[in-house]
Chain A
Amino acid sequence: MATYDVVYFAWVRERIGLPREEVESTAQNVSDLISELSEREPRYAAAFSDLSAIRVALDQDLAQFDAPLEGVHEVALFPPMTGG
């Protein structure tokens, strides 16, 4: 079991309802972590219903959803913003 600082931006944050939280998880990679969260509550499932519109950064490095979480402290999830 590891603890991660999970940070949400833009409409991901709006759907989940908070900007950051500590998450305890046994997930091996980002996809697993997102699946775990989605099963916890509908607001997570709603936020993560379309992962093609979400990007992830692990400890401030842009990463893929299959990237391993071992040794990672912070998981940031953000969509592209489009307004100008």
Chain B
Amino acid sequence: MLDASLSEDRYARHHILPEIGHKGQDRLGAARVLVVGAGGLGAPVLLYLAAAGIGHISIADDDVVSLSNLQRQVLHSTSWLDQPKTQSALARLHDLNPEIEITTYPVRIYDAEAISLVGQHDLVIDCTDNLEGRYVLNHACFKARVPLLSGAISGWEGHVGLYHPAQGGPCFACVFPEAVEERPAQNKGVVGALPGVVGATMALNAIKHITGAGASLLGKLLLIDTLWNEQRLLNVAQDPACPVCGGSHQEGC
């Protein structure tokens, strides 16, 4: 571990920020965050959270670095082609901030292990690239009573929400019911800088959530359209008929 004066230097711009300060930085250092997906959104989320001094970051991703990833997944580099994204991420983040602990899970997270893995963290950040994975994480976070910060992108647009039924907010399925199918004909194109905007927004809201700074995204869904410069902050509420959390949101059994 590096000595205290180096750590003081590393986080100096947080320390002098009234909304974070030493107390907030200590909270970041004590936090355990699970980031699922080390792709487009995972890249800025992981870079900014590691840089911010999140004490323990777990990374789950079963993919390898492909050439077509590098247009937007700025965490990875050409020299890491065909290598597991978890290994590429680990090397880059360790170089960025050797003071933090990083655990890697080079696997796809399924229901069975998701609940126990999620339960070992204070916050889960959903950077997955498919609806099925999002529902698995949502269910696990509800069961484990762990807040879920979820972001998604498509083309030039994205959305970000914080889901935590144990604190009275909706779960992901309240807002996007599980009946909603991924549209097969959906254009999978994405502009390279978009995950930077949406992922950095997610990292920022993770920092706010952990330090308690400012207004929470709980009960909100932020829609971002970078092509037409439109943004909406929608109010979203728990659905009493939600098959995941409805009616038993205080139980989390």
- Of the A-B pairs whose beta carbons lie under 8 Å apart in the complex, a sample of 24, sorted by A's number, is A7-B232, A9-B157, A11-B154, A11-B183, A14-B187, A52-B180, A52-B181, A60-B233, A62-B221, A62-B234, A62-B237, A76-B232, A78-B159, A80-B131, A80-B180, A81-B154, A82-B131, A83-B129, A83-B152, A83-B153, A83-B188, A84-B42, A84-B126, A84-B129
By the criterion CB–CB under 8 Å, are B223 and A78 in contact? yes
In this complex, the interface size class of chain A, counting residues with CB under 8 Å from chain B, is 20 to 34
Interface of B toward A, CB cutoff 8 Å: 37, 39-42, 126-131, 134, 151-155, 157-159, 175-176, 179-183, 186-188, 190, 195, 221, 223, 225, 227-228, 230, 232-237
Q: Which of A13, A14, A60, A79 contacts B234 (CB 8 A)?
A: A60
**Once bound together, how far apart are the Cα atoms of A52 and B177, in whole Å?**
9
Q: Complex formed: what's the CA distance from A79 to B185 in Å?
A: 13
Q: Is the C-beta of A20 less than 8 angstroms from some C-beta in chain B?
A: yes
Q: Is the CB of B232 within 8 A of A60?
A: yes
- A84 B183 Cβ-Cβ under 8 A: no
Knowing A62-B175, A76-B223, the reply to whether A10 touches B157 (Cβ < 8 A) is: yes
Q: A11-B183, A14-B187 are in contact. Are A76 and B157 (CB under 8 A)?
A: no
User: Within 8 Å CB of B134, what residues of A?
Assistant: 82
- Chain A residues with Cβ under 8 A from B128's Cβ? 84
Query: Which chain A residues numbered 31 to 70 have a C-beta less than 8 Å away from chain B?
Result: 50, 52-53, 55, 57, 60-62
Q: Which of chain B's residues has its CB closest to A60's CB?
A: B234
Q: Which residues of A contact B221 (CB under 8 A)?
A: 62
B131 cross-chain contacts in A, Cβ below 8 A:
80, 82
**From residue B143, how far is it (CB to closest CB) to chain A in Å?**
21
